[in-house]
Amino acid sequence: MTHGTADGISQPYINPRINGSRVLLNNTGLGLQLSTAGTWVDAGVAAINSASYLITRTQALELECSQAAGGLAAEDLMVSLQFVLP
C-alpha cells in the first residue's frame, strides 16, 4: 500500500477485511500503517490472520481505514492485494 499525499501529523492504518473480519495482524490488528508518500508498505506472511485469509466468490472484500491520519490530509491510496488459488 502507498499513498500519493502523506498526512502532516500521523499516517493512517489500512486493513483488508474478508466478510467483516480483519486479515492483517500488524499493529495489534490495525493493519499496515502507511509511510511517506510514494513508499510501498507490505505485510509478511506471518502477519496474516490464518482464520481470516480465505475468500470465496460469494464473500465481501473491503478495505478498512482502521485508524485515521492525525491531520486527515492523506489521500490517493493505492493498494495491491495478491490472491493464491488452492
**3, β-bridge pairs:** 77
- In Å, how far are 39, 41, 45, 70, 74 from 36, measured between CA atoms? 6, 10, 23, 14, 10
What is the model's pLDDT at position 16? 92
**What are the structural domain ranges in the chain?**
2-70
Q: What is the pLDDT of residue 17?
A: 93
Q: What is the mean pLDDT of residues 68-81?
A: 85
Give residue 48's pLDDT: 86
Note the pLDDT tens digit of each residue in 6-53: 888 889 999 999 999 999 999 999 999 998 888 888 887 778 888 887
Which residues have C-beta within 8 Å of that of residue 56, sequence separation ≥ 6?
Answer: none
Q: Which has the closest alpha carbon to 33: 9, 53, 51?
A: 9
- DSSP state letter for 16: E
In the prediction, which pLDDT does 85 show?
A: 63
pLDDT of residue 42: 84
Residue 24: φ, ψ to 5°: -95, 140
